[in-house]
Structure 1
Amino acid sequence: MPENIHDKFFKENFSRQDIAADFVREVFPEPLREKLNLPTLTLRNTSYTDPTLEEYFADTVYDCVYESSTPVQIAILFEHKSQKEKYPHFQLLRYLLNSWEEAKKQNKPPGLLIPVIIYHGKARWEYEPLSHYFGAVDAALQEFLPMFRYLIFDISHYDDEQLLGFRNRFLATSLFLMKHRENEARLLEYRHRLFVWLDELVQTESGKNYLITTVIYLSKNLDIRPKAFFQSLFATDQVNRTAMSTYDQIIEEGIEKGIEKGIEKGKEDAFVSLLTVAYKQGLDIDKLAAQYNDLPRQRINELVEEVKTQS
């Protein structure tokens, strides 16, 4: 799966050690958090996702020391799907195996890995043990089940005040944006709390990069947002100027081509879906295609042949 705008926003933020460390402080269970030596948190230049796992999540992996000497890895996984995965342990087991296989290739012992999933869908995600997938299992059979757990951070479980109460302003704002990325009214309602703190940082590299990433992220969720939205969203003059400069340079330059390509792509996707369903039902898609005029005739014929070949 190619990296999408959600992945990019996630990785841009959670690849920062300060954000990752404060995320652990805010959401990890206290008995675990107290034994993690967070100043040792170090970003790994690696990923344990493979082509199959890329359908499910993106990852950012950190090394850390547990208690005084035990090395562990913390994998922050960003869930792609908008609905809770039915069997998350299955994907995570593959992920763990990938990490251990990588250690084996390097002639190292397998490492302990703590997976934590960030979920930003609308339906709530309640944790359930792997054993629940199998129903009632006799005690004598329990030992044949792989037993491990993961941590889940479901953004929908947190109300807005909880999220904005996180100490790290980059983290708090990022999570709020991920939760309300489609809700312009909510974003505008909280604009005086979301970006005012950036006023002192917008001239720094980290502050400017964060603002640029934010404008790109919000501009590419659902419909292309008008410039007036961004002018209203960033409340202070200095932040507003930088944001609008970013909008002009990155968004408006490509907006015309993007709309044109998006319209054509949307037409093609809809047409292919229609043809695929019709073909599977045994209908004559050549006759159906002959009545379609929203694409060039040559492209229509190409799509018909593709559906016949692939279905």
Structure 2
Amino acid sequence: MRHGAARPMQINAHDALFKAAFSQVEHAAGELRQALPPALSARIDFAALRLRPGSFVDEALKERQSDLLFSASMGEARVLLYLLFEHQSTVEPLMAFRLLRYMVRIWEHHLAEHPGSKRLPAILPVVLHHSETGWTAATSFEDLLDLDEGARAVMVDHVPRFRFVLDDISQEGDEALKARAMSAFSRLVLWCLRHGREPDELLRQLGKWLDLVNEVRRAPNGVEALRAIWRYILATNERDEADEVLQRLLAAAGEPWKEEIVSAADQLMERGRQQGLREGLREGRCHMLLKVLGARFGALPNDAVARVNAADIAVLDRWSERVLTAPTLAEVLSEP
């Protein structure tokens, strides 16, 4: 296949790599053990860790956030561990509030699956973060509340209280990442995500990580895991021509990886074509739905327009089916 001058379209390379690694419980367990306080980690039976279905982030934020939900045993109880990856260049000051919203959605989902439940599973929120500055905002929900110290003292028992666990890799050096007690693939993924905004650095430093690359390759499903790494490096470098990035990656990795890297580039190009077709179809449906909504309900509020523009094809199809019969805009755009 000719890799051409055009950059293959990659809707969210960060999300794809994050989920390629941490949707596998053996890799997720290593990240969670690393992030959690030792006393808390010691009480969790990671052998019982299981991935749960669903994503709970806002539709409009899915380009900036990725999430995975797990269950595990803690003594006689089952607890939920919610891992959120924040892949934007700035710090979200209201992260604790967003997490509360996502946690409520998880509990609502739980109650829908277990009607009649009188108790809720505990949720342990964990944020994996990388930004240009490192984390600078509150990690405790109560710190977001606009209260002076005197008011806080008397209100503390009457407001939501939780602190999320933060794994901030922004300021962590490459050698520290490499030394983490995690699988080789997980460490390689964190290194890639750490430098995802500076893809030239990935190409320059790859030679120092080839021992880890070899370790990944020897592991079960190692070749497929490495394809995810190669696709990420190829997809995140948007400044240079695709052929040039491919040649630089081949030079940095060396001859043993040539066939696998070229195969990953072919997969990326094909995915780019398919994503381009799907995005073109999605944009057309967005345009048509907004036109019909405007004809039925008049000028649309900005938040409704934003929701339509962020929705995927399946959601757009549901809304399009309702648009002619639902009596209000809110009922057209309602989602469980």
TM-score, length basis structure 2: 0.68
Structure 1 residues 16-50: Cα deviation after superposition (integer angstroms, max 9, x where no partner): 11111111222211111111111111111222334
- The answer to whether the 8 A contact 1:124-1:157 is kept is yes
> Which runs of no fewer than 5 residues in structure 2 stay unpaired?
1-9, 280-336
Q: Distance in 2 between matches of 1:24 and 1:253?
A: 31
Structure 1 residue corresponding to 2:260, chosen from 211, 234, 242? 242
Per the alignment, residue 20 of structure 1 pairs with: 28
Question: Per the alignment, in what secondary structure is the counterpart of residue 185 of structure 2?
Answer: helix
Name the aligned partner's letter for residue 178 of structure 1: L
Q: Structure 1's 81 and 249: CA in aligned 2 closer, same or farther, altered over 3 A?
A: closer
Per the alignment, residue 5 of structure 1 pairs with: 13
Question: Per the alignment, in what secondary structure is the counterpart of residue 55 of structure 2?
Answer: coil
Per the alignment, residue 306 of structure 1 pairs with: none
Per the alignment, residue 131 of structure 2 pairs with: 121
For residues 103-118 of structure 1, the aligned pairs below 5 Å read 103-105=110-112, 106-107=114-115, 108=117, 109-118=119-128
Aligned-residue offset at 1:121: 1.5
Aligned-residue offset at 1:245: 2.8
Structure 1 residue corresponding to 2:56, chosen from 48, 52, 60? 48
- The answer to whether the 8 A contact 1:74-1:114 is kept is yes
- The answer to whether the 8 A contact 2:88-2:131 is kept is yes
- Higher alpha-carbon Rg: 1
Q: Distance in 1 between matches of 2:193 and 2:100?
A: 27
Q: Structure 1's 253 and 124: CA in aligned 2 closer, same or farther, altered over 3 A?
A: closer
- The answer to whether the 8 A contact 1:71-1:111 is kept is yes
The reply on whether 1:196 has 2:211 as its aligned counterpart is yes
- The answer to whether the 8 A contact 1:198-1:239 is kept is no
Per the alignment, residue 136 of structure 1 pairs with: 148
- The answer to whether the 8 A contact 1:216-1:251 is kept is no
The reply on whether 1:183 has 2:198 as its aligned counterpart is yes
Q: Distance in 2 between matches of 1:32 and 1:253?
A: 41
- The answer to whether the 8 A contact 1:76-1:118 is kept is yes
RMSD: 3.0
Instruction: Count how many residue pairs are aligned between Structure 1 and Structure 2.
Output: 257
Percent identity reads 25
Q: Distance in 1 between matches of 2:180 and 2:57?
A: 29
Q: Distance in 1 between matches of 2:40 and 2:164?
A: 12
For residues 231-270 of structure 1, the aligned pairs below 5 Å read 231-235=250-254, 237-248=255-266, 250-251=268-269
Aligned-residue offset at 1:131: 2.7
Name the aligned partner's letter for residue 247 of structure 1: A
Q: Distance in 1 between matches of 2:97 and 2:197?
A: 30
- The answer to whether the 8 A contact 1:199-1:239 is kept is no
Q: Structure 1's 3 and 102: CA in aligned 2 closer, same or farther, altered over 3 A?
A: farther
> Which runs of no fewer than 5 residues in structure 1 stay unpaired?
262-311
Per the alignment, residue 276 of structure 1 pairs with: none
Structure 1 residue corresponding to 2:171, chosen from 150, 157, 175? 157
Name the aligned partner's letter for residue 87 of structure 1: L
Structure 1 residue corresponding to 2:232, chosen from 217, 240, 256? 217
Structure 1 residues 135-183: Cα deviation after superposition (integer angstroms, max 9, x where no partner): 4242112223210110111111311111011232111111111111233
- The answer to whether the 8 A contact 1:201-1:207 is kept is yes
Q: Distance in 2 between matches of 1:184 and 1:220?
A: 9
Q: Distance in 1 between matches of 2:61 and 2:109?
A: 15
Greater relative contact order structure (CA < 8 Å, 6+ sep): 2
Q: Distance in 1 between matches of 2:168 and 2:213?
A: 26
